[in-house]
Chains A and B, each alone.
Chain A
Amino acid sequence: DIQVTQSPSSLSASVGDRVTITCRASQSIGAFLNWYQQEPGKTPKLLIYAASTLQSGVPSRFSGSGSGTDFTLTISSLQPEDYATYYCQQSYSTPWTFGQGTKVEIK
């Protein structure tokens, strides 16, 4: 199975800060990497698919990059509504696997 490791596990940042979350796969997965946002008590929501494509309706302050084994989710200017846990997920091969999550808190 492909392991996916996210870092950091949590972070605290101020409104307007640039935030970066990384995801590393245990083997090369091309661009088969997706990012999800889960607000407290809510259902996960797809943010970015195929490493860098923004899902329709997602604000442009979110962006994704990377290929192979190393990937990044960036929030260019953190907003109060971005308080959530973010997960990466590989879809290169089954079983699909998720990172352990990064909890973003607003300072």
Chain B
Amino acid sequence: QVQLVQSGAEVKKPGSSVKVSCKASGGIFNKYAFNWVRQAPGQGLEWMGRSIPIFGTAHYVQKFQGRVTIIADESTTTVYMELSNLTFEDTAVYYCAAAYSGSLDYWGQGTLVTVSS
């Protein structure tokens, strides 16, 4: 059983960056791919990308290409998602989720990122 604990809520200005962390415990870190999914207020779920620590690779949705970076730190079993050049449309709850194969098996509690001037 994997537990994922995310960092706290953030308020950011347009044009700035945000970095959200996700600390994994209770499982073998390298067994999983760590995904980021976001949910804008009142909207559905949107997959942003993932890191696969065992391969040292990351994949991103083209929509976020160039703005998002997902890094997995095996030494601290923590995954980070950094999103740059924020706009008001980036206001959302950001979830990390661990996938053993093709499903998002374990979820963090979510981190609200508010972009406000």
Contacts from A to B (Cβ < 8 Å):
32, 34, 36, 38, 43-46, 49-50, 55, 87, 89, 91-92, 94-101
Contacts and interface: CB of A to CB of B under 8 A. Distances in A.
B76 interface: no
Contacts of A89: 45, 47, 103-104
Interface in B9-29: none
Given A44-B95, A95-B62, A96-B35, 7 more contacts: A44-B97, A44-B107, A45-B107, A50-B102, A95-B49, A98-B46, A98-B47
8 contacts: A49-B101, A50-B103, A89-B47, A91-B102, A91-B103, A92-B102, A95-B61, A97-B47
Nearest to B103: A49
Nearest to B62: A95
Q: Is the interface of A mostly helix, strand, loop or mixed?
A: loop
Interface residues of B, number: 23
A32 B102 contact: yes
Contacts of A46: 103-105
Nearest to B64: A95
A44 B103 CA distance: 12
A34 B35 CA distance: 15
B107 A43 contact: yes
A100 B43 CA distance: 8
B105 A96 contact: no
B42 to A, nearest CB: 11
